Amino acid sequence: MTTLAPRGRATSDAAVGWCLTLIVAVPFVVFLVVPLASILVRGFETPDGLGLQNFTQTFGSARFWDLTVNSLAMAGLSTVIVVSLAYGYAYALQRTAVPLKPFLRIACLVPLFAPSLVQAQGLVLLLGRNGFLNRFLGFDIDIYGFWGVVIASSLYAFPYAFLILSAALAVADARIYDSAEALGAGPLRIFKDATLPATRFGLVSACFIAFTLVVTDFGNPIVIGGDFSVLATEMYNQVIGQAQFGLGAVIGIVLLVPAIVTKLLNNTLSGRTHAIITDGARPLTIEPSPMRDLCWSLFVYGLVAVILSVPLIVLIASFTQLWPYNMAFSLRHYHFDVQNGLAPFKNSLIVSASAATIGVVLSTLAALVANRFRTALSGPIGFLSILPSAVPGMVLGLGYLVTFNDPANPLGFLYGTLTLLVVMITYYNFANAYLTASTSLGQIGKTFDEASTMLGGSRLTTLFKITLPLLWPTMIGMWVFYFMRTMVTLSAIIFLITPSTQMASVSVLQLSDRGAINQAAAFSICIMAVVVLCLALVRGLLILTGNRHVALIR
Amino acid sequence: MTLAIDDLVKTFGEVKAVDHVSFEVEEGAFVCFLGPSGCGKTTLLRIIAGLEQADTGAVRLGGVDMSGVPARKRNFGVVFQSYSLFPNMSAQRNVGYGLECRGWSKSERQKRACEMLDLVGLADQARKLPSEMSGGQQQRVALARALAPNPSLLLLDEPLSALDAKVRDTLRQEIRSLQQRLGITTVMVTHDQDEALAMADTIVVLNGGKIEQIGHPRDLYTRPASAFVAGFIGHMNVLPVTRNGSGFHFSNTILDVDEADPGQGDIRSLGIRPEAIEVASSHGANAPRNVVPGEVRAVTFLGNLTRIEVAPDAQKDTVLTLELHGACDIPKLGDGLSLRLPSHALKVLP
């Protein structure tokens, strides 16, 4: 038989690498670098040219410092509460034998499936002026203000803190616990000397992430804050209420600080956590202990009742005639005959599905360029890909507003379209998807690439026949995550909402604001239903195709 | 086609992975690169494959310089250490992949893939995914996949080291007989001396990026060119000696050596294989030539043979290892034992 040379291809492998690089890099500059740069520029822009006037004006006002103290106090207290509770909850699930763990794990993540202001919405229905407790149980609670925001924010940040702490508590070396017990240490001492030190990085990380989430959150404080304002709501008022873009930009820059600190700290910490568990480690086995398990069960079931009471009361309100005056069952709020009808909901679905699709494609390409098709721009692309995780949604949103609402911008026609929302959300959630794709590519390993090369496959052949078929379950997981985050986000899109681009989560805010609590509740429930349905469908698909291991919620 | 390696150099930072390596492989030969980990053998294979670029030097196949030819156009077959079968494809599609890249039609691909699978004895496994096959089966498919496009050179990168001992032995013979049947020039990397001795026509012993010795397995064993080769291929007892006229002195024992040429200059050490050492009949202080009295330090029973370590009375830190075959009187720990080192078995080590 004759020797057969592999078939030639017109495009060389290097050209393919550069092609992909440009596909990723150009939109990065236009839709991430420019908006972030313009928010910085806006901060320094004054009627008399560039200057520090916005900063001096902001930092010189007593109101700014009041708001800063409000934000710090509220976020600080919420962080302490949420991390303590989440630690206990995660501890109970990982280290004790409480019953029905799968239920408990899913139940505490429910807030992730709801629009981010649902906590405030639910608390108003439970504890507000016309709330369940005041109205029907004879209490006289005033929830609007500091405490309302603290409770709502704690509930909001709970799942995020839980996921981190649960991962930290999941790894343990049984040998350490055995020897501690053999040396005569009591349970408290073992906790102080073994458990706590092993999870301290997770604790610090959870604290910073919870703090950043809470301090940059806008939906909950605006719904339940009453007269109590924080930096995030002030930013909204400056920009939307008074069109003071420069002052809004200054607050945006201030809000970037905790987010960037969190990101840097997380990068430093994640490198160290691995060293705790060594080769010979033996996983912990949990022996039932009736007294301990009963105590922890009381705690976790009490907590999960509080967490679930929020979506539950929203669900009830969505099915009542007119909360709280006429509590009869009714489906009329699901007719969506108010405001724009179902349009915001359709917009949300379109934007979420489009952003998820584009985001998965672009973030996978970015991961491929950074890990496989290396070019001179691979490094910068890797950096830009994780940058969005350090940018709060409101800040990126304001960046888009000042960039694309500018008549001088040739892409200005995008302002006021759903397309711009899609693009913005694509980059807002980029980091998470990119990191997932990168990790997955790392696990696939380079041997397959080399094997394919030696058999005569070009890089494109390898990509389409080997890499992508192996990556698709992960990409499906990324898609769901994107979709879910987009359906529920509020702070990222709030600045880009125009009458022609209404979104469901914003409708919830506006309906609540107008006092239409029942319709607002119905909207929230629909968002949750879609997210849960999507998660369930994809989970089913993954199980059917033998990809049970792919994580959907991170 | 003849494979010629011409003065290859490859450095990674400070480390010289391949240090001025040259040799030739005849058409149809089976060559093994043998050496400890980090000796540069895998790097050398990867340079030949085109997966790594050499700093200087050339790889020529049939006289043609391959340096301008990218890996995917070289038409070399490679089998990797880890089972690198594509997990998303059946055995048959894996085998047909190289043909797919060469634009073969589907029916031709299937026919060829079946032939190849038949060749490695897995015709009945064609539809299975890699995850449904054992390690040995996967490596057989990998071999079929590498051979399917009719490569001009077959490269094997530690193909057997991830398998368990039994499978390794059978596959060793299968690869060798298949290679001989197809007459394909083959280069294999291994750190396992048994594997190299059993399979190769020629062994290239590498150490620190340099070639220590090239030769037929038997020559490497009987005439090692250096103490490193002697120690790496089988075990070799090394005796430090001083020369005095016609004889060598190991402490107070005089050793006759057949192969020593009186004209040879500075000789400081002699080597002897464990199986060549005999137990001397008598044990006494006044030992004759080539007999070393000593004391048994360790006895290891290994089934078909017993390995004994003896510390010579006159030089206790140079422990000699010998192997006794079959059922015989096994000395006990601490026994006195005199060893005869036959003059024909003593090798001069450079």
Q: Domain range holding A148?
A: 9-275+288-544
**Contact partners, residue A499, CB within 8 Å, separation at least 6:** none
Q: Is residue A283 part of a domain?
A: no
Taking only the tens place, the pLDDT of each residue in A386-395 is 888 888 888 8
Mean pLDDT of B97-107: 92
Give the predicted TM-score (pTM) of the model: 0.81
Residue A58: which residues within 8 A CB-CB, separation 6 or more? A64, A247, A250, A251
Per-residue model confidence as pLDDT tens digits over B176-191: 999 999 999 999 999 8
- Asked whether residue A448 is assigned to any structural domain, the reply reads yes
Q: Which residue has the higher pLDDT, A7 or B30?
A: B30
Radius of gyration for chain A, computed over Cα atoms and rounded to the nearest angstrom: 25
Total count of domains within chain A: 1
> Is omega for the bond preceding A324 within 30 degrees of 0, making it cis?
yes
**Interface confidence (ipTM) of the complex:** 0.81
Q: Quick one: average pLDDT of B277-303? A: 81
> Does some domain include residue A282?
no
Q: Could you give the 3-state DSSP secondary structure of residue B182?
A: helix
Report the chain A residue with the minimal C-alpha distance to residue B96: A455
A521-538 pLDDT, tens digit each: 888 999 999 999 999 999
Indicate the residue of A3, A6, A450 with minimum beta-carbon distance to B101.
A6
Query: B325 - beta bridge partners?
Result: B305
Q: What share of chain B is helix, strand, coil (3-state, %, to 5)?
A: 25, 30, 40
Judging contacts by C-beta atoms under 8 Å, the chain B residues touching residue A6 are 72-73, 75, 98, 101-102, 149
Instruction: Report chain B's C-alpha Rg in angstroms.
Output: 25
B81, closest residue in chain A (CA to CA): A447
- Distance from the B94 Cα atom to the nearest Cα atom in chain A, whole angstroms: 10
CA B49 to chain centroid, in Å, comes to 20
CB within 8 Å: B88 and A6: no
Three-state DSSP class for A356? helix
Q: Residue B214 in contact with residue B203, Cβ under 8 Å?
A: yes
Strand partners, B338: B293
Cα(A537)–Cα(A71) distance, rounded to whole angstroms?
39
State yes or no: pLDDT of B90 exceeds 90: yes
Predicted pLDDT at A256:
86
CB contact under 8 A, B103 and A7: yes
pLDDT at residue B262 greater than cutoff 70: no
A502 domain residue, yes or no:
yes
Chain A residues with CB inside 8 Å of B51's CB? 450, 453-454
Q: Is residue A40 domain-resident?
A: yes
Probe site for chain B from A447, A454, A474, A545 (most B CB atoms < 10 A) = A454
A554 in a structural domain? no
Structural domain includes residue A521: yes
Q: Are A482 and A210 in contact (CB under 8 A)?
A: no
Tell whether the model's pLDDT for residue B281 goes beyond 80.
no
CATH number for the domain including A32? 1.10.3720.10
Residue in A510, A486, A484 with CA at minimum distance from that of residue A499? A510
8-state DSSP, B69: S
pLDDT of amino acid A8: 46
Residues A271 and A275: their CA atoms lie apart, in Å, by 8
pLDDT of residue A1: 38
CA distance A331 to chain B (A): 48
Distance CA A534, CA A361 (A): 19
In a domain, A550, yes or no: no
User: pLDDT tens, A7-56?
Assistant: 444 357 778 888 888 998 899 988 999 998 888 888 888 777 788 888 88
Please give the C-alpha separations between residue B243 and each of A343, B251, B347, in angstroms, as whole numbers: 101, 11, 14
Mean pLDDT along residues A188-214: 85
For residue A5, the chain B residues in CB contact (below 8 A) are: 73, 75, 102
Tell me whether residues A2 and B150 touch, CB distance under 8 A.
yes
pLDDT of residue B232: 85
The Cβ of residue B209 has, within 10 Å, a number of other Cβ atoms equal to 23
The residues on A that touch B, with CB distances below 8 Å, are 1-8, 13, 445, 447-448, 450-458, 461, 465-466, 469-470
Q: Where are the alpha helices (DSSP H) in A335-417?
A: 343-371, 378-386, 393-404
Task: Report pLDDT for B311.
Answer: 92
DSSP B36: S
Q: How far apart are CA B314 and CA A497, in angstroms?
A: 95
**Inter-chain CB proximity A457 and B146 less than 8 Å:** no
Euclidean distance between the first and the last CA atom of chain B, given in angstroms as a whole number: 35
How high is the mean pLDDT of chain B?
88
Answer yes or no: is pLDDT of A275 > 70. Answer: no
